[in-house]
Amino acid sequence: MTHDPLAQTHDWTDSGFSTRAIHAGQDPDPRTGAVVTPIHQVSTYKQDGVGGLRDGYEYSRSGNPTRDALQEALAAVEGGAAAFAFASGLAAEDTLLRAVLRPGDHMIVPDDAYGGTYRLVARVLGPWGIDHTPVHLSDPDAVLAAIQPGRTKVIWVETPTNPLLGIADIAAIATHARSAGAVLVVDNTFASPYLQQPIALGADAVVHSTTKYIGGHSDVVGGAVVVADGAQLPAGLEGPTGTTALGDAVGFLQNASGAVAGPFDAWLTLRGLKTLAVRMDRHNANAEAVARFLVEHPGVREVLWPGLPEHPGHEVAARQMRGFGGMVAFRTGSAESAVAVCGATRVFTLAESLGGVESLVEHPGRMTHGSVAGTALEVPDDLVRLSVGIEDVEDLLADLEQALAAAGLSR
């Protein structure tokens, strides 16, 4: 490759969060100067003679410049050494788990994990020989007690959890993972890298459903794995490329099993990432107003938001998060009233998913967490989950006021 004077190379490592989100991996296009990374909607690349790859590009499952830009940006915002972008959050999780685990291994999962994560672990990986124990992660001692020495190879952490907004102490669990020789994975979807940096707290890998806050506009499904600098496979395991580096194994599987993010999806996700910090600040502020409104409302039984001083995880959350996030859950006292609230909102849209600019409401028991009914992960049937968006907060509060009244939960 000839050197192009238009190409900028700058080390963004020491820049602030938004500077990294906007610039890392996103130098202006060397040929045209285009300020935004182009969508390289292409499957294959011309070779300059057999094996003469330009910049290493051969085939888009193995490498694509738009996906590479996203991966570099995600690694930069999470403080990781490398990132790998996938077609969905679950594809990212599946690839990571199959890179790390072998038949006969055991993993620890949160007892209120995202339902799809639990389904993957229990019903897809289970039949392939992976054993799991659901653990209440707010108690680091319970994690320690669940570790099976020599067998537990992954500790999976979600914090805040979905939908109960439990908080796990990442640094405390990292100590246990290290002494057990297990890989500590944190699903950072709910917090986003702006609010929480698990790698700095000792995680070996972070996973994201970029569908949520990182994409941020409810217009793309995607996922990512970010690995820490120097992260290793579980003690004693050599990966498919002959090294013990976690990143090498994940990179190999990303190509070998192929659940990659497409170029347009990668581009949309990158576009969302640029505004993550300003969106999260507004999500936090609106969620705080909504949580305080619900606490004051006599028709509401219990409000779950880690920013409330009475939340059991408040202190840990205040220590490890920059803000408490945009997810709020509350209990109405009966399944009927919870379902009625979900059906009565006008600004909050009744839908699964979360993290977009628009506010969403859902009934986890019958919607997102239907797949874990009857398991250790079953959620209370009077729970309502809100993904508080970035609309004008007065409109959100007025909408909740009328929906609670319509559900018979009046003042």
Opening angle at CA 55, ends 50 and 61, nearest 5: 80
Contact flag: residue 162 with ligand PLP (CB under 6 A): yes
Q: CB-wise, 89 or 364, nearer to ligand PLP? A: 89
Q: CB-wise, 158 or 169, nearer to ligand PLP? A: 158
| The binder of ligand PLP chosen from 114, 213, 267, 348 (CB under 6 A) | 114
Q: Mask 186-225, x = binds ligand PLP (CB under 6 A)?
A: -x-xx------------------x-xx--------x-x--
Smallest distance, ligand PLP to C-beta of residue 115, A? 9
Instruction: Write the CB contacts of 271 (distance below 8 Å, at least 6 apart in sequence).
Output: 36
Contact flag: residue 387 with ligand PLP (CB under 6 A): no
Smallest distance, ligand PLP to C-beta of residue 401, A? 28
Distance of alpha carbon 187 from alpha carbon 198, whole angstroms:
9
Instruction: Write the CB contacts of 12 (distance below 8 Å, at least 6 apart in sequence).
Output: 19, 20, 23, 24, 76
Contact flag: residue 330 with ligand PLP (CB under 6 A): no
Distance of alpha carbon 84 from alpha carbon 93, whole angstroms:
11
Of the candidate spans 47-55, 94-102, 167-175, 182-190, the one that interacts with ligand PLP by CB under 6 A turns out to be: 182-190
Distance of alpha carbon 161 from alpha carbon 329, whole angstroms:
11
Contact flag: residue 265 with ligand PLP (CB under 6 A): no
Instruction: Write the CB contacts of 50 (distance below 8 Å, at least 6 apart in sequence).
Output: none
Q: By beta-carbon distance, which residue lies closest to ligand PLP? A: 89
Smallest distance, ligand PLP to C-beta of residue 403, A? 23
Exposed, middle or buried, 142 (CB in 10 Å: 0-12/13-18/19+)? Answer: middle
Positive or negative torsion for Cα 388, 394, 396, 397: positive
Q: CB-wise, 189 or 254, nearer to ligand PLP? A: 189
Contact flag: residue 326 with ligand PLP (CB under 6 A): no
Q: CB-wise, 116 or 239, nearer to ligand PLP? A: 116
Q: CB-wise, 37 or 162, nearer to ligand PLP? A: 162
Dmax over Cα atoms in the chain, in whole Å?
76
Distance of alpha carbon 193 from alpha carbon 269, whole angstroms:
14
Q: Tokens representing 360?
A: 């969403």
Of the candidate spans 29-37, 111-119, 275-283, 392-400, the one that interacts with ligand PLP by CB under 6 A turns out to be: 111-119
- Give me the active site residues, please: 61, 114, 187, 212
3-class secondary-structure state, position 155: strand
Smallest distance, ligand PLP to C-beta of residue 207, A? 7
Residue ranges in contact with ligand PLP by CB under 6 A: 88-90, 114, 116-117, 158, 162, 187, 189-190, 209, 211-212, 221, 223
